[in-house]
């Protein structure tokens, strides 16, 4: 099983989980089966709001799950359509969120929890 964690800076498992999927500078990919931890640059970081292409962002790397502080409805739908489960991370490091995810303590994202934008002052729930 592979899990992607959007992060601001690559510090491996000590990276802080980023608050928003689409604008995260990079991702930490944790492969539970092999124990391998890799980092990759977000290839879709400079998109217009609402036009996130999450599979492009992950550079074609196949993952089973994503854990992130916030995500837009379009990106969530695109990931879910590919069978990728998306969980709401807590503020903290990849290591901490990985443990919470393994214990079943991170809630799975639904459309009601997604980011609705930042321009109109409505803000996000993350």
Express each pLDDT in 35-75 by its tens digit: 999 999 987 665 455 555 667 778 888 999 999 998 888 88
Q: Which of 13-17, 31-35, 75-79, 86-90 has the lowest mean pLDDT?
A: 75-79
For 2-113, the fitting CATH number among 3.30.420.130, 3.30.70.260, 4.10.490.10, 3.40.190.10 is 3.30.420.130
Cα torsion through 15, 91, 119, 10, rounded to 10? 0
Query: Mean pLDDT over residues 75-91, rounded?
Result: 93
CB neighbourhood size of 53 (10 A): 14
**Torsion angles phi and psi, residue 66, rounded to 5:** -130, 140
pTM (predicted TM-score): 0.84
């Amino acid at each position: 099983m592979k899990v992607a964690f959007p992060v601001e800076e690559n510090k491996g498992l000590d990276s802080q989980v980023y608050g928003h999927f689409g604008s995260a500078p990079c991702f930490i990919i944790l492969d539970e089966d092999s124990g391998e931890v890799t980092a990759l640059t977000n290839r879709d970081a400079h998109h217009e709001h609402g036009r996130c292409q999450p599979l492009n962002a992950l550079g074609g790397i196949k993952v089973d799950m994503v854990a992130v502080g916030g995500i837009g409805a379009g990106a969530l739908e695109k990931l879910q359509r590919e069978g990728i489960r998306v969980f709401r991370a807590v503020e903290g490091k990849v290591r901490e969120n990985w443990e919470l995810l393994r214990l079943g303590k991170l809630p799975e994202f639904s459309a009601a929890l997604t980011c609705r934008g930042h321009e109109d002052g409505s803000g996000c729930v993350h």
